[in-house]
């Protein structure tokens, strides 16, 4: 019988080492995060239209709202993406001194200062806050049960949760932690307690998939090859469809092997349908397999918006949803992606009609994103061929096997994780600071096993490789949206030092001229690289530098440093100095071969007085794209202080 997991000091009902109550109610902790985000993103002018006041209890920011009226926010110094953060969970009205102490009341007050056309965005964000709070209470109520389930299945020590099956346990821990930027990350639009318990990664559930049968000629597949084009650029996947109106199949190295109706084979030999149930096992009519394709469907989609998707595409009369669910799966950290039970190296990315980290951040899977992800993988493979020092140290998931029926809810990506990691520990960077079952951060357990208990030595090794790789990519004209959830750390397994595992490479920014210079070829087009999203390929450094900073520096490196400091691992200035030193070394290496690219990073990251910061609430919920001007809600920025300039 496994003992109940230890509680961590910041959980409701927890106490500090002296036994004194240290808990802050979940509502108050949420409001602190929300106020901090609103301040960082300058909502209603909280950052740029306020006056700093010094009072006996500390600093306040005063926002004038009319003659003789104001809203006041108590603040403290922050430094991570914002100069100030909320000090107390309240917004105070003047005159009268009435305190607003709930997210609803704060947002209502700020909505009164906004343009009328933005009112719906504030209401939507208030709903996100309610959903997040409900999820937090559910997490607290189920914590012991879930962690006991993990320890019973994998053991009590996360540093010994091996292979891709162990990754799923680490995903559960990571799903119960907060996002470094978004203040209310735990809710999911339209999903209640029953749906979360049944399908969300923080509960580590197991469920069977649903299956949709469609005529093969109505399904498009675009597996890719890693064969380079003659100009040295790895070309993207060619689209293939059996429909008469679709593009003709290409021939040559990019042609897709077809082994029968609806059977699609990726370059690595993995077939889309390998290991899937047969029509007979699903109870479909005899002979139904002839000329038909089976697509897996997430149970939430099957029970919800699938009918509408089929109706909108005109496929309703051609499709059959099998009544019998088959093939058990477990959700990964990205809820829409599931790993197959018994084959945890096989992931299926299945669209969901929900949203996380913002109302506009929908969890569907567009056909174009499938092709872009495969093209991004091939581009990275091209870099690895040209940078042999990363061989075996940077690993890529295979995302070249997928299919869709022309709708964002009728799609599947079959991701194959790298082989040979059964004895390694593989976990997302987001899990490093997550509390383990004994209450200690996971990074402490990993340091005990791999670095003699030295958490800073482990962090140093990770940062050295991470910054070297991402800076090298920048020299090739590439910046990735490889944030802390889709870049994984690989430790052990017979290899000295850390390795990185990358997946979900469908949202990069590519400076085509710089790529051509690095690869010694003609400047490619986005289409030539295989990308469908016209925003990916750019002709200037700004979009790459912004993405590099917001993702690699803030979400991967900076959040780790500030988190380790909060856990008492080392003084913050020492940890930030470590990031600066390793980034400087990486930029110096890049300067030897790509001096122009290195100069950009030095000017826009190391020495810049301010750095770009993701404005996730503004772009994701509060404002429409037309109002925010965000071409991409995940790449819309405000600014914050450059903590890399801090002196120890």
Which residues neighbour 414 within 8 Å (Cβ) at sequence distance 6 or greater? 266, 270, 272, 346, 347, 348, 401, 402
Token pair 């070297």: residue: 468
What is the pLDDT averaged over residues 393-412? 96
Burial class from Cβ neighbours inside 10 Å (0-12, 13-18, 19+) for residue 286 reads exposed
- Among 18-22, 179-183, 266-270, whose mean pLDDT is lowest? 18-22
Task: Give the H/E segment covering residue 379.
Answer: helix 367-386
Q: Please check whether residue 109 is in contact with residue 96, taking contact to mean a CB–CB distance below 8 angstroms.
A: no
Q: Please check whether residue 607 is in contact with residue 454, taking contact to mean a CB–CB distance below 8 angstroms.
A: no
Burial class from Cβ neighbours inside 10 Å (0-12, 13-18, 19+) for residue 418 reads middle
Res. 261: pLDDT tops 90:
no
- 201 DSSP assignment: G
Cα–Cα dist 80/60, whole Å: 19
Return the structure tokens found at 385.
């061929």
3-class DSSP state of 220: strand
Res. 21: pLDDT tops 90:
no
Token pair 């700093």: residue: 52
Q: Please check whether residue 174 is in contact with residue 202, taking contact to mean a CB–CB distance below 8 angstroms.
A: no
Which residues neighbour 339 within 8 Å (Cβ) at sequence distance 6 or greater? 164, 167, 168, 329, 330, 331, 332, 345, 346, 347
For residue range 230-246, list pLDDT tens digits in order. Answer: 233 544 333 333 332 22
Selection from 154, 176, 178 nearest residue 167 by Cα: 154
- 278 φψ region: left (φ > 0), alpha (ψ -120 to 50), beta (else): beta
Q: Please check whether residue 262 is in contact with residue 394, taking contact to mean a CB–CB distance below 8 angstroms.
A: no
Q: Name the pairing type of β-strands 337-340 and 343-349.
A: antiparallel
Task: Provide the pLDDT confidence category of residue 6 given band limits of 50, 70 and 90.
Answer: very low
Looking at per-residue pLDDT, the higher value among 1 and 372 belongs to 372
Q: Is the peptide bond before 462 cis (omega within 30 degrees of 0)?
A: no
**Beta-bridge mates of residue 428:** 488
For residue range 489-513, list pLDDT tens digits in order. Answer: 999 999 999 999 999 999 999 999 9
Give the pLDDT score at 271.
78
Mean pLDDT of the chain: 89
Res. 588: pLDDT tops 90:
yes
Give the pLDDT score at 647.
72
Give the pLDDT score at 648.
57
Cα–Cα dist 508/482, whole Å: 9
What is the pLDDT averaged over residues 308-320? 95
Return the structure tokens found at 91.
């917004």
For residue range 427-463, list pLDDT tens digits in order. Answer: 999 999 999 999 999 999 999 999 999 999 999 999 9
Q: Please check whether residue 29 is in contact with residue 140, taking contact to mean a CB–CB distance below 8 angstroms.
A: no
- Among 305-314, 372-381, 622-631, whose mean pLDDT is lowest? 622-631
For residue range 554-563, list pLDDT tens digits in order. Answer: 999 999 999 9
Alpha helices in 413-454 (DSSP H): 442-450
Selection from 624, 637, 616 nearest residue 120 by Cα: 624
- 605 DSSP assignment: I
Give the pLDDT score at 223.
54
Give the pLDDT score at 5.
40
Selection from 234, 222, 288, 289 nearest residue 258 by Cα: 222
CA 62 to chain CA centroid, nearest Å: 35
Task: Provide the pLDDT confidence category of residue 177 given band limits of 50, 70 and 90.
Answer: very high
Share of the chain above pLDDT 70, in %: 88
Cα–Cα dist 161/204, whole Å: 15
Which residues neighbour 641 within 8 Å (Cβ) at sequence distance 6 or greater? 79, 81, 82, 83, 609, 610, 611
What is the pLDDT averaged over residues 505-525? 97
The alpha carbons of the chain give a radius of gyration, in whole angstroms, of: 25
Q: Please check whether residue 84 is in contact with residue 48, taking contact to mean a CB–CB distance below 8 angstroms.
A: no
- 186 DSSP assignment: S
Cα–Cα dist 35/524, whole Å: 44
CA dihedral sign, ordered 67, 68, 73, 76: positive
Task: Provide the pLDDT confidence category of residue 251 given band limits of 50, 70 and 90.
Answer: very low
Task: Provide the pLDDT confidence category of residue 419 given band limits of 50, 70 and 90.
Answer: very high
Cα–Cα dist 239/296, whole Å: 20
Neighbours of 637 (CB within 10 A): 19
For residue range 541-552, list pLDDT tens digits in order. Answer: 999 999 999 999
Neighbours of 377 (CB within 10 A): 27
Cα–Cα dist 480/194, whole Å: 35
Neighbours of 206 (CB within 10 A): 11
Res. 266: pLDDT tops 80:
no
Return the structure tokens found at 135.
């999820």
**Beta-bridge mates of residue 180:** none
Secondary structure in 3-state letters for 141-153: HHHHHHHHHHHHH
């Amino acid at each position: 019988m496994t003992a109940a997991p230890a509680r961590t000091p910041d959980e409701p009902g927890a106490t500090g080492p002296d036994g004194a109550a240290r808990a802050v109610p979940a509502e108050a902790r949420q409001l602190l995060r929300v106020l901090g985000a609103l301040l960082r993103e300058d909502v209603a002018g909280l950052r740029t239209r306020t006056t700093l006041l010094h009072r006996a209890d500390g600093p306040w920011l005063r926002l004038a709202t009319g003659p003789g009226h104001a809203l006041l926010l108590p603040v403290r110094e922050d430094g991570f993406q914002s100069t100030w953060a909320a000090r107390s969970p309240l917004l105070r009205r003047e005159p009268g001194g009435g305190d607003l102490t709930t997210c609803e009341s704060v947002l209502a007050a700020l909505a009164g200062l906004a343009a009328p056309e933005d009112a719906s965005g504030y209401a939507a964000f208030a709903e996100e806050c309610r959903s997040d709070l409900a999820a937090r209470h559910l997490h607290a109520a189920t914590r012991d049960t879930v962690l006991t389930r993990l320890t019973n299945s994998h053991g009590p020590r996360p540093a010994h949760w091996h292979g891709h099956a162990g990754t799923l346990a680490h995903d559960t821990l990571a799903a119960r932690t907060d996002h470094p930027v978004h203040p209310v990350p735990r809710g999911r639009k339209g999903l209640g307690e029953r749906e979360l318990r049944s399908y969300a990664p923080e509960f580590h559930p197991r469920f069977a998939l649903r299956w949709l049968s469609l005529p093969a000629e109505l399904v498009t597949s675009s597996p890719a090859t890693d064969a380079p084009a003659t100009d040295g650029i790895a070309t993207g996947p060619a689209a293939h469809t059996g429909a008469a109106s679709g593009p003709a199949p290409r021939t040559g190295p990019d042609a897709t092997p077809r082994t029968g109706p609806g059977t699609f084979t990726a370059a690595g030999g993995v077939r889309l349908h390998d290991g899937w149930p047969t029509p007979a096992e699903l109870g479909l009519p005899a002979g139904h397999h002839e000329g038909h394709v089976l697509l897996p469907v997430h149970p939430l989609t099957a029970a919800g918006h699938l009918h509408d998707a089929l109706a909108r595409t005109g496929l309703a009369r051609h499709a059959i949803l099998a009544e019998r669910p088959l093939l058990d799966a477990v959700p990964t950290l990205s809820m829409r992606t599931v790993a197959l039970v018994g084959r945890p190296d096989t992931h299926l990315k299945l669209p969901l009609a929900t949203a996380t980290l913002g109302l506009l951040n929908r969890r569907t899977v567009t056909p174009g994103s499938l092709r872009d992800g495969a093209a991004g993988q091939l581009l990275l493979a091209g870099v690895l061929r040209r940078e042999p020092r990363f061989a075996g140290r940077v690993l890529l998931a295979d995302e070249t096997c997928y299919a869709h029926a022309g709708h964002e809810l009728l799609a599947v990506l079959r991701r194959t994780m790298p082989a040979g990691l059964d004895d390694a520990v593989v976990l997302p960077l987001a899990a490093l600071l997550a509390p383990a079952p004994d209450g200690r951060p996971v990074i402490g357990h990993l340091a005990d096993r791999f670095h003699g208990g030295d958490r800073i030595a482990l962090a140093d090794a990770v940062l050295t490789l991470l910054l070297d790789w991402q800076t090298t990519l920048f020299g090739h004209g590439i910046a990735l949206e490889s944030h802390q959830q889709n870049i994984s750390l690989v430790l052990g397994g017979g290899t000295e030092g850390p390795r990185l595992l990358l997946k979900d490479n469908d949202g990069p920014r590519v400076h085509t001229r710089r790529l051509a210079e690095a690869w010694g070829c003609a400047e490619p087009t986005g289409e030539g690289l295989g990308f469908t999203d016209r925003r990916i390929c750019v002709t200037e450094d700004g979009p790459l530098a912004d993405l590099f900073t917001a993702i690699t520096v803030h979400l991967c490196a900076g959040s780790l440093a500030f988190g380790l400091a909060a856990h008492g691992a080392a003084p913050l200035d020492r940890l930030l100095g470590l990031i600066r030193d390793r980034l400087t070394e990486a930029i110096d290496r890049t300067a030897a071969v790509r001096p122009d690219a290195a100069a950009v990073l030095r000017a826009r990251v190391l020495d810049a007085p301010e750095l770009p910061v993701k404005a996730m609430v503004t772009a994701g919920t509060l404002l429409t794209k037309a109002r925010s001007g965000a071409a991409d809600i995940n790449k819309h920025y405000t600014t914050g202080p450059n903590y890399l300039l801090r002196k120890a």
